[in-house]
Amino acid sequence: MKLLTHNLLCSNVRGLRPGGGFPLRIQVRACPSVPAVEVLEGFLQCPDSGRQFPISRGIPNMLLSEEEA
């Protein structure tokens, strides 16, 4: 996931406060010497609900379960 994509993404969990789903917090294993330009493994966390969306192999998975949608 590139930085620009992150700029466009927001949490789509139901029942959030207005604007509560953006921006998603990027959670990656800290590597101080390497700036995170593209996230390959990690999570995007919804600031309002705390829901974590996984990123694997550079692909964020933003699918919600039926209860969350």
Partner 1 sequence: MEYEATQLEKQHVHSVYENTAAYFNDLQSKAWPRVRNFLLEQKPGSLVADIGCGTGKYLSVNSQVYNLGCDYCGPLVEIARKKDEEVLVCDNLNLPFRDQCFNAVISIGVIHHFSTKQRRIKAIKEMARVLIPGGQMMIYVWAMEQKNRRFEKQDVFVPWNKALCSRHFSESNQPGDKGEFVHAVKSQDMHPAQLVISDCSYQTNLQPETDSKHSHSMDHCLSRACCLKISEEENRFYSALGRSFRSWFFSTSLDESALRKQADKMKALKNEGDWANSTVPIQHSRHCSLDLGHHGALLKEQSLDDDDVFVESLSLKKPQWSLATDALKDLSLNGGHQSAAQSKSEEASCVNGPVEDRDYSSGCNKDGAGKSTASKSFKRTSTTDSTDSALDSAVSVGDQTDATLDTKAFMRYYHVFREGELCSLVEENVPELQILSSCYDHGNWCIIAEKRG
- E strand or H helix at 54, and its extent? strand 52-56
For residue 37, state whether it binds partner 1 (rule: CB under 8 A): no
Closer by beta carbon to partner 1, 28 or else 64:
64
Closer to partner 1 by CB, 31 or 69: give it: 69
Q: Which of 16, 20, 22, 49 binds partner 1 (CB under 8 A)?
A: 22
The CA distances from residue 18 to 7, 21, 44, 52, 59, in Å, are 17, 8, 18, 18, 26
| Site size toward partner 1, by CB under 8 A | 22
